[in-house]
Amino acid sequence: MKDSIPQFQSEKHQLERVIFEMFYHRVYNTAYFIIQDRHLAQDVVQETFFKAFQNMHKVEDGHKLGAWLGTIATRTAIDFLRKVKNETILLQKTS
């Protein structure tokens, strides 16, 4: 039993790497289209995959994985825009 836990974690890590490599460009392009900033788009990509890997157990149809990741990327990018907008407003009020 103890031997199977590290093997499971290794297989999970390999699966996550494959998913990341398969969908990186799609997620990045979605984020960049919304954010229009390379560095923030990279942050959105990182956050998207973090959220996805935390909730991978909720995916029922593997064929829809790309669409699911695209939705997460879109919502995460919009959240980033809101955060930047709110920070900008706060900075303007304090100036």
- 40-50 pLDDT per residue, tens: 999 999 999 99
Tell me the whole-structure pTM to 2 decimals: 0.83
Q: How many domains does the chain have?
A: 1
* Domain boundaries, position 28: 4-94
Helix (H, G, I), strand (E, B) or coil at 41: helix
**CATH number, domain with residue 37:** 1.10.1740.10
Band (88; pLDDT cuts 50, 70, 90): confident
- Taking alpha carbons only, the member of 19, 28, 88 closest to residue 59 is 19
Helices (H), 1-95: 4-35, 38-54, 65-94
Return all residues near 23 (Cβ < 8 A) that are at least 6 apart. Answer: 65, 66, 69
